[in-house]
Chains A and B, each alone.
Chain A
Amino acid sequence: MSASGFTNLDSSAGFNQNPTPNGGAAPPCQNGPLPTHPSMYPPAGYYGVPPPQQSYLSIPSHATSAPSKASIASSAHSQNYYQNNHQQQQQQTQLPQHQVALSPYSAPPPSQPYATLPSLAPPPSNAQFNQQAFQQQQALYTTSGPYYGQQSYRASPAQPRHHHHHHQQQQHHPSLVSSPAGIPVYPNVSYPSGPASSHYVPHTSSNTSTPGVMSTQMGAPLHQFSALPPASTAVQPGYGTGHQTAATVNGKGSTAAVQNNIHQHYDQNNQAPHNYNSYSGVTQSSGGADGDRPPSGTPSTSVHSSPSRHQGLQYGYVANSGASSASATTSGAAAAPSSSSTDDDEEEEDEDEEAGGDTSSSSTGSASPVPNNYDSLEGGSYPDSMPPSNNMTNQAPPFGSFGYHGMQTAYQHGPASRPDASPSHSVYSQPGYQQYSQPFPNLSQLSAALGGLSGVPELEMEALRPVNLLQERNLLPSRPLEAPEPNLSPDLKKVNCSPQTFRCTLTSIPQTQALLNKARLPLGLLLHPFRDLQQLPVITSNTIVRCRSCRTYINPFVTFLDQRRWKCNLCYRVNDVPDEFMYNPVTRSYGEPHKRPEVQNSTVEFIASSDYMLRPPQPAVYLFVLDVSHNALEAGYLKYFCESLLENLDKLPGDARTKVGFLTFDNTVHFYNLQEGLSQPQMLVVSDIDDVFIPSHDSLMVNLKESKELVKELLTSLPAMFSQSRETHSALGPALQAAFKLMSPTGGRVTLFQTQLPTLGAGKLQSREDPNQRSSTKGAQHLGPATDFYKKLALDCSGQQIGVDLFLLSSQYADLSSLACVSKYSAGSVFYYPSFHCIHNPAQLEKFQRDLDRYLTRKVGFEAVMRIRCTKGLSIHTFHGNFFVRSTDLLSLANVNPDSAFAVQMSIEDSLADSSLACFQAALLYTSSKGKRRIRVHTLCLPVVSQLSDVYAGADVQAITCLLANMAIDRSISSSLSDARDALVNAVVDFVSAYKSSVSNLQQSGVVVPAAMRLFPLYILALLKQKALRTGTSTRLDERIFAMCEFKTQPLPQLMRMLHPDLYRVDNMSDQGALHLNDTVVPQPHLLHLSAERLSRDGAFLMDCGNVFYLWISKCCNETFICDVLGCSSYASIPPNMSHIPELQTPLSERVRAFLDWLQDNRAFSSPIHIVKDDASAKATLFQHLVEDRSESASSYHEFLQHIQQQMSKGWHQERDWRKYLRFPGSSFPCEQQQTDHMGARSVCVFTADFYIYRA
């Protein structure tokens, strides 16, 4: 075990109020009459917390000391436990020493581990160690390799599908990842012995079947090691192995698949990043599930020399910071290898060690003033008295000289290794080098000339082509709509942030607020900052270069005035380039700051130093709060949850410090003692729900590694444990309070499962839904929370860095609008499974299981803050999503997950006339599940335009729709649903009239919009028919609220699919235009309009609704299709609730499955498929998504357009009611008055007849 390493880590950093699970000071949240234990004494608090001196035969101390708070043994189980407890207690008290020894946090005297250092020195071939050391030396420029998670096909359209498939698998089975990384693999892969390992050399092994698609680390560690000055004796054994070690590192995860993948990637994208593969650094690959993968490989050539420099830096640093930190560093390095016993653990250990390094450096940093909140950390203001550059010189005087010297060597070494790059590599890097060959090519200046007004005239013309919607019927593109490209110079375009991460509603920013008002479109950003990325450059650097006044991170859009100065692109301040930044790892030359990865990539991740920490990075802590009331057992989720967690226990993102805990509740709250050494888990029942307390402070949240057996045992026994429970009440509030108390010392993630309305204790709720009002056309009541208990709790949680994720599995009204607050303000996520029942509702069960698999294994970032900065003149108006807004541009996110997105409304405060570019930067500072502080920075650059036509040409209709949806949801909660609906309709009317008046020579009558916005009315109509905003159709309140939550948090592509599903005809898919991905042909059928007239009686249609697929089989469907794809003999024999496509070996089936898999690959949560037959009961589910048709309560698309036309022609005679408009930030209403008459359900007649029409 790595205990000693971590002990060091903790003790050296003085982390944790509760460093020893076995005692130590009780955390401050202690509430009950707990005795404080002598620090090294195990509290043995299995049953209540008996003070050590108490007789063990007595009833728990609570009972005696504070009868009102006694823990009561309320079930037979606890009786058993009591027996066990008793024995355990005795055993325990007899062996206190043993207990202490076992505990990882048992705080041995700090000197101890240091003393044992030499003996813990790593075996020479330990790859972990190398990497660790590498990190410890604060290696620069860790560059990412493929960052596998959810992959985007946009970036690399021809990437083999199978790769993705395997990557996905990889997420779920890390063991697969590590197996190729294991020792046996080493011999299989050939490693160039030279420093400039040619990572593009094709490898022979199969690339489809290799799951271990990780990045490669070639050469880098090798040179790291060879360059290490033999200063640290503890580390010495590693040196001897020099090249060998590197080879093993290379072996790790560097399979041919990786290489090909990288290769392909660059092939297609031809992006700057490929350069980085050639320079120093660790390639970081991050899996969707696994959080940040360790630097498992670098196609690196340059570290060759730089390490010596880092080494120098490091030593200077260490020397300066005192002996303790030095020993901590080395001991961290040395201790870890002893623990990396399995391949599986390697990566984790790796990260751990880095964390150790971080911590040690934090101890060095403790001399410097520690900023007192994250706010200042992330950099709202300049941290007092420690600008990064000063930092360097202040803390480590030798540092600079050493470093500089090192750099020189680096420079000398550089060119030597450079030509070793493989031919393909040099081909790819060529353009990049040429481009920046002149001394200071100034991206921004270039763009100033090229960006903005110039651009691509044809595209713009096409985007501006007026489209009369009443005449043109086929509006949909054949493939799902892509984000419009900002009209920038090619150089800027190339480095700009991916639209999947960062998207603006107007890709051309209007110069003034007046122009924006004229356009009648909202200005805003849609952000998906923590998205699983394929590729992410990770930079470890002593100095994170930032603007000194606005604290913007250096990015590709800054201007280098000369070698030593750069101009911030957000505030235009001129800053100095720090010495360290002068060293350019691309060419290993000095004096080329504009070629640094930070300046070449708009999405980068920094490994943050201790300046960015308020406390040492927290471990991954997971608490599961489970509803075990009768209702919950009736629904039967517990069994499936336990199964899923058992399955994924090893895949929970985290490191050796990962802690878990369980808490169940019905009318009482049950805690589980899982302390290592017990023979079985013990349940502690707290029945005093009015003032809930924590019965034992250190054995409830346990180290997952150490108590894994107990956790497993608990999970296997939990479903049966409560099977006899008849308790119908639910004390959710007290359970959450207990969870808060339990988690507040560390922070972490609380996963809450709730199946009914909370009925007891604080936060109890009453049913507010009137079933008769479900289909009211008046709108819905009670969209807001009934109490602020959950909100306050969420704010408390947020303050203690606790995120709460809510799984609501109720069959009846559970007041989601109140409950969701607990996740909303603690940056959690909400999952809702209406009518969940494990037997009666298999579809929901399947969805639950799929979601849970993804949820448990997905990345998670802790104690995060996100700041969004924008060019001077722009300001942030409102945020949408799940978070707590800490200040005007800072979001506090207790947890950040890769599936949640944010929207930001912007306004223009000052004219942007003096700049041609507007930039936005989102910086997300978080602690990875491996305990490392990281900053992910995204920068988006957009042109500023002065013409209305340019604004329209750059409008992003999908982003606009999503932002409007967010605004409408806010409006429906703050005002009313009908106001929100009217406001949406008015947004369309406003826009169309504004466009009409702006284009003076427009002779056409009818609804005319620019081609870029031609789908706008359709999307708004679809929005009005969504569960969240519809009226007239029966919608349960909870489902409505959940739909609203989804709108607020789902990333844009997912949202768009939910809003306007993609419909394809799949029975006659041709290979025309098909993608050929790695031997698989993925047909690309055309998108169809969502109208029943597009369906035919003899076809099969696939509808992709984002979270679910429907395969609609019509009555006269081709028999061969039914037979070949569904494996049924005829239409009649298709079972009614079929929900999978059998794996048949027919070409048709393969094609359909290939297409489905391809669609699935893009999304985080895999979607189930439902086969829908053409009969009345089933098809209603499908037909409610056909948004262009009229339904019982809503108009068809054509009617909607006519309504808009009417509204426009009606004139402007009536008073404008601002409640019926979405007010775009900063805008006042135009002078002309518009009428308030609105459509929505109120003024639209009710249509009942022909529900849909077949074509011919």
Chain B
Amino acid sequence: MAFTFAAFCYMLALLLTAALIFFAIWHIIAFDELKTDYKNPIDQCNTLNPTIEKVKKIKRVKIAIKLVLPEYLIHFFFCVMFLCAAEWLTLVLNLPLLAYHVWRYTSRPVMSCPGLYDPTTIMNADILAYCQKEGWCKLAFYLLSFFYYLYGYTAFSAICLTLKIMQYLENIHTF
């Protein structure tokens, strides 16, 4: 049954990577907006950083998940899936990004809320350029991995299908 789980992993990864590509594009646009003065850094950081918004009147904590953390979590999630599926090659391909995410999150500025971006430093040209570059690199990586997963998924499906057909044929044959 292992191969079907792997195929499922690839299928899931495919869908999630599509989401990640969307996030990466969002990221690039967000920093472009910052650079071209369309947005206030505070607002922009609030959209980028996941924030916990207290809705005071109802005294209920609503967590508005924003860009960064979901991206990291999604990526972490399908890495774990691949680990379970024992897809070693795929896992190794994803490990650098995972490590980068861990490093990036541990070296974030001092903040009381989860998130990466500090509105007071984000406008520094170096940081801005770094973030933009990061966005493009990630976009490229996700695009490549999207096709990789697509290939993996189809390959697995094909293998799965052929195996099933063969099984079926064998069954027929034995009958």
Contacts and interface: CB of A to CB of B under 8 A. Distances in A.
B41 A885 contact: yes
Residue in B41, B120, B128 whose Cβ sees the most chain A Cβ within 10 Å: B120
Contacts of A788: 109-112, 118
A888 B125 contact: yes
Given A875-B125, A877-B126, A886 B40 contact: yes
Contacts of B102: none
Interface stretch (A164-172, A194-202, A779-787): A779-787
Nearest to A381: B37
A737 B128 CA distance: 31
A890 interface: yes
B112 A787 contact: yes
Nearest to B120: A825
B30 to A, nearest CB: 14
A825 B123 CA distance: 13
A885 B120 contact: yes
A380 interface: yes
A799 interface: yes
A878 B41 contact: no
Contacts of A791: 118, 120
Contact of A877 (B40, B110, B125): B125
Contacts of A878: 124-126
Contact of B42 (A799, A890, A907): A799
Contacts of A887: 34, 37, 40-41, 123
B101 interface: no
B119 interface: yes
B66 interface: no
Interface string A860-884: 0000000000000001111100001
A885 B37 contact: no
A654 interface: no
Contacts of B128: 888
A876 B125 CA distance: 8
Nearest to A786: B110
Contacts of A784: 110
Nearest to A886: B40
Contacts of B40: 373, 375, 886-887
Contacts of B124: 877-878, 885
A332 interface: no
B114 to A, nearest CB: 12
Interface string A371-390: 00101000011000000000
Contact of B112 (A792, A877, A886): A792
B35 A888 contact: yes
Interface in B91-123: 109-112, 118-120, 123
A888 B126 CA distance: 12
Contacts of A792: 112
A1225 B112 contact: no
A1113 interface: no
A519 interface: no
Contacts of A787: 110, 112
B106 to A, nearest CB: 15
A907 B126 CA distance: 11
A491 to B, nearest CB: 34
A884 B120 contact: yes
A1223 B125 CA distance: 12
A795 B109 CA distance: 16
Nearest to A974: B121
Dominant SS among interface residues on chain A: mixed
A823 to B, nearest CB: 13
Contacts of A795: 42, 119-120
A41 interface: no
Contacts of B109: 788
Nearest to A785: B110
B148 to A, nearest CB: 33
A833 interface: no
Residue in A373, A381, A884, A1225 whose Cβ sees the most chain B Cβ within 10 Å: A884
A789 interface: yes
Interface string A795-807: 1000100000000
Residue in A785, A786, A791, A1223 whose Cβ sees the most chain B Cβ within 10 Å: A791
Interface string B116-157: 001110011110100000000000000000000000000000
Contacts of A907: 125
A876 B35 CA distance: 11
Contacts of B118: 788, 791
Contacts of B37: 375, 380-381, 887-888, 890
B67 to A, nearest CB: 19
B171 to A, nearest CB: 65
Given A380-B37, A786-B110, A1225 B125 contact: yes
A879 B128 CA distance: 13
A884 to B, nearest CB: 6
B123 A888 contact: yes
Contacts of A877: 124-126
A1235 to B, nearest CB: 24
Interface in B26-75: 34-35, 37, 40-42
Nearest to A885: B123
A877 B126 CA distance: 7
Contacts of B125: 875-878, 888, 907, 1225
A887 B42 CA distance: 10
A789 B120 contact: no
Nearest to B39: A887
Nearest to A31: B56
A380 B37 CA distance: 8
Nearest to A877: B125
Contacts of A1225: 125-126
Nearest to A784: B110
A789 B123 contact: no
Contacts of B110: 784-788
Contacts of A380: 37
A925 to B, nearest CB: 16
A523 to B, nearest CB: 13
A789 B111 CA distance: 8
Contacts of A888: 35, 37, 123, 125, 128
A1225 B125 CA distance: 8
B42 A789 contact: no
A787 B111 CA distance: 7
A886 B41 contact: yes
A799 B45 CA distance: 15
Contacts of B41: 885-887
A405 B88 CA distance: 85
Contacts of A825: 120
Residue in B35, B37, B41, B128 whose Cβ sees the most chain A Cβ within 10 Å: B37
A735 B118 CA distance: 24
Contacts of A375: 37, 40
Nearest to A889: B37
A789 B112 contact: yes
B39 to A, nearest CB: 8
Nearest to B119: A795
Contacts of A875: 125
A825 B124 CA distance: 14
B38 to A, nearest CB: 9
A876 B109 CA distance: 23
Nearest to A875: B125
Contacts of B35: 888
16 contacts: A373-B40, A380-B37, A381-B37, A786-B110, A788-B118, A795-B42, A799-B42, A877-B124, A877-B125, A884-B119, A886-B40, A886-B123, A887-B41, A888-B35, A907-B125, A1223-B126
Given A784-B110, A877-B125, A888-B35, 19 more contacts: A375-B37, A381-B37, A787-B110, A787-B112, A791-B120, A792-B112, A795-B120, A825-B120, A875-B125, A878-B124, A885-B41, A886-B41, A886-B123, A887-B40, A887-B123, A888-B128, A890-B37, A907-B125, A1223-B126
Interface of B: 34-35, 37, 40-42, 109-112, 118-120, 123-126, 128
- The 5 A-B residue pairs whose C-beta atoms are closest, nearest first, are A885-B123, A887-B37, A877-B125, A380-B37, A788-B111
